[in-house]
């Protein structure tokens, strides 16, 4: 039959999101065949028994009847007031409800921010490894990622001079993910200050993805980017998905800081794009004020004795017992990013290994190369399973590595 084929946009050719890619689809096939798969690929707390705090759920339920219509394009006023107050409490000057954008997760706002900014061929400085939506949204909006390294040998920290050396006349923006996914690094304040100076020198827009801002173990205190950026244009991102364990609510926010004159045109562009998608999911926005103004619910999970703390320890113990693995202890966020030592197993392909681990041991995780890390020997595990499950995962990883080493 002579049917016509629909050809999708060539823009997609370089776009990847392997966290939900071929490996995850293969895991679904195996599950359909009756195999039990331990899935450590997605940072989705609900899947692992973490509940959204009851006072958030109650606020949404109580306001369902108020949420039947479209809302303000920037977001629910009550939510934006709470977000603006959080920013002011962090020392960010000049943030009011007009500078706050609420969206369907940080994901939507990452795309919206880059859409507002980029011309074809513009360059965005991104960490390597990155959270791959940042690369995808850069490419989909006509931009080109330029990666600055955050190597394990440096505790997965970036270097301000290296970042500066990547700047070209086409560079428009600098993205920081702190606390970091996938590495778990938390950036010291002094380092952030030096990076802010690079942005100032080169007139870059700063973008701070701070969605894990409250998920901290034993690293430095979390230092938000916007107070350091001061008058410089800066977009800061936060949300309900991780710290408040409400991924499915799809609520994230973005605040625009910097002097009025410098950000006015960008503000107009962001408002227009926000209006084009009408508004964010209304019922769930009622959870924002209770989340930000109510009791802290994450500290008990990350402190000694808490489940995330124990999960992280289980991975640290598993790595300590391994002949092959090494790991920079995650200081924040929901992941561990161990790597396979070159002296223990010289020939190692992280993608091939992840597939083999899935087929042979029923464990789904994400190879480091999926985070735009060339030549990666890393694997990313979420810290969300129970500690004993993570201990078991480490045993299974070790078994496959040992088999590979014997071949
Ligand atoms: N940014 C980072 C670093 C993430 O890890 C994630 C999700 O895993 C997101 C943004 C997107 O979060 P959401 O769209 O659920 O707010």
- Token reading at 200: 């100032």
3-class DSSP assignment, residue 343: coil
Is 208 close to ligand 1, i.e. is its CB under 6 Å away?
Answer: no
pLDDT-based confidence at 111, cuts 50/70/90?
very high
Q: In the predicted model, is pLDDT for residue 2 greater than 80?
A: no
Pair 173, 125: CB distance under 8 Å: yes
**Which of 387, 394, 229 minimizes the C-alpha distance to 313?**
387
| Long-range CB contacts for residues 119-125, cutoff 8 Å, separation at least 24 | 121/170, 122/170, 122/171, 122/172, 122/173, 123/168, 123/170, 123/171, 123/172, 124/171, 124/172, 124/173, 124/174, 124/175, 125/163, 125/166, 125/167, 125/171, 125/173, 125/174, 125/175, 125/204
pLDDT score, position 356: 97
pLDDT for position 16: 86
Element containing residue 147 per DSSP (H, E): strand 144-149
**Confidence label for 19 from pLDDT (cuts 50, 70 and 90):** confident
pLDDT of residue 390: 97
Counting from 1 in the atom list of ligand 1, the atom nearest the Cα of 177 is 3
Neighbours of 153 (CB within 10 A): 8
pLDDT of residue 162: 98
Local confidence band at 3 (pLDDT 50, 70, 90 cut-offs): confident
Q: What is the pLDDT of residues 319-362, one digit of tens each?
A: 999 999 999 999 999 999 999 999 999 999 999 999 999 999 99
What per-residue confidence (pLDDT) applies to 304? 95
Confidence at 1, pLDDT banded by 50, 70, 90: low
Question: Measured over all CA atoms, what is the biggest interatomic distance in the chain, rounded to whole angstroms?
Answer: 66
Beta strand 100-103 with 171-177 is unpaired
pLDDT tens profile 228-285: 999 999 999 999 999 999 999 999 999 999 999 999 999 999 999 999 999 999 999 9
Model pLDDT, residue 17: 87
Is it true that the peptide bond before 179 is cis, omega within 30 degrees of 0? yes
For ligand 1, say whether the CB of 333 is within 6 Å of any of its atoms.
Answer: no
Phi, psi values for residue 333, rounded to 5°: 65, -160
Contact 229, 257 (CB under 8 A): yes
Report angle CA 304, 43, 388 to the nearest 5 degrees: 50
The mean predicted confidence, pLDDT, of the chain is 96
- The residue whose CB lies within 8 Å of the most ligand 1 atoms, and thus the one to mutate among 46, 106, 288, is 106
Q: Give the bridge partners for 378, in sequence order.
A: 339
What is the tens place of the pLDDT at every residue in 163-192?
Answer: 999 999 999 999 999 999 999 999 999 999
pTM summary value: 0.97
**E strands of 171-241, at which residues?**
171-177, 205-209, 234-239
Q: Is residue 147 scored above 60 in pLDDT?
A: yes
pLDDT surpassing 80 at residue 209 = yes
Task: Identify which of 223, 227, 228, 200 has the alpha carbon closest to the alpha carbon of residue 213.
Answer: 223
Catalogue all structural domains in the chain, each as residue range(s) with its CATH number.
10-51+300-406 (3.90.1150.10), 54-293 (3.40.640.10)
- Which residues make Cβ contacts (< 8 Å) with residue 232, sequence separation at least 6? 196, 199, 200, 206, 258, 262
Could you tell me the distance, in angstroms and rounded to a whole number, from the CA of residue 114 to the centre of ligand 1?
15
Predicted pLDDT of residue 94 = 85
CA of 181, closest atom in ligand 1: 3
Q: Any idea what the Cα angle at residue 242 is, between residues 187 and 186, rounded to 5°?
A: 10
Q: Is 241 in the pocket of ligand 1 (CB under 6 A)?
A: yes
């Amino acid at each position: 039959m002579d049917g016509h084929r629909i050809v999708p946009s060539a823009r997609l050719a370089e776009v990847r999101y392997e966290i939900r890619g071929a490996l995850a689809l293969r895991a679904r096939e195996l599950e359909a065949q009756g195999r039990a798969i331990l899935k450590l690929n997605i940072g989705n707390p609900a899947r692992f028994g973490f509940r959204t705090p009851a006072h958030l759920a109650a606020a949404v339920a109580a306001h369902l009847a108020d949420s039947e219509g479209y809302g303000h394009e920037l977001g629910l006023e009550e939510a934006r007031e709470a977000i603006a107050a959080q920013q002011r409490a962090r020392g960010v000057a000049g943030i009011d409800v007009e500078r706050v954008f609420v969206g369907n997760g940080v994901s939507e706002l990452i795309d919206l921010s880059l859409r507002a900014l980029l011309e074809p061929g513009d360059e965005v400085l991104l960490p390597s490894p990155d959270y791959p939506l940042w690369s995808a949204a850069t490419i989909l909006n006509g931009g080109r990622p330029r990666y600055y390294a955050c190597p394990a040998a440096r505790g997965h920290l970036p270097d301000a001079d290296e970042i500066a050396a990547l700047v070209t006349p086409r560079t428009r923006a600098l993205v920081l993910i702190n606390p970091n996914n996938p590495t778990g690094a938390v950036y010291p304040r002094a380092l952030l200050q030096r990076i802010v100076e690079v942005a100032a020198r080169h007139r870059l827009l700063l973008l701070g993805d701070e969605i894990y801002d409250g998920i901290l173990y034993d690293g430095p205190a979390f230092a938000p980017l916007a107070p350091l950026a001061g008058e410089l244009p800066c977009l800061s991102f936060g949300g309900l998905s991780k710290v408040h364990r409400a991924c499915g609510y799809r609520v994230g926010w973005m605040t625009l800081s910097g002097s009025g004159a410098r950000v006015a045109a960008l503000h107009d562009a962001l408002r227009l794009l926000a209006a084009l998608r009408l508004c964010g999911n209304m019922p769930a926005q009622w959870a924002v004020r209770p989340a930000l103004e109510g009791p802290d619910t994450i500290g008990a999970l990350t402190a000694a004795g808490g489940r995330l703390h124990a999960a992280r320890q289980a991975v640290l113990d598993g790595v300590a017992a391994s002949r092959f693995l090494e790991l920079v202890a995650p200081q924040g966020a929901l992941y561990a990013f161990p790597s396979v030592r070159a002296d223990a197993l010289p020939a190692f392909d992280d993608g091939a290994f992840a597939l083999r681990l899935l087929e042979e041991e029923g464990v789904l995780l994400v190879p480091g190369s999926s985070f735009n890390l060339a030549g990666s020997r890393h694997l990313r595990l979420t810290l969300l399973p129970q500690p004993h499950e993570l201990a078991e995962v480490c045993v299974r990883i070790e078994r496959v590595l040992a088999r590979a080493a014997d071949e």
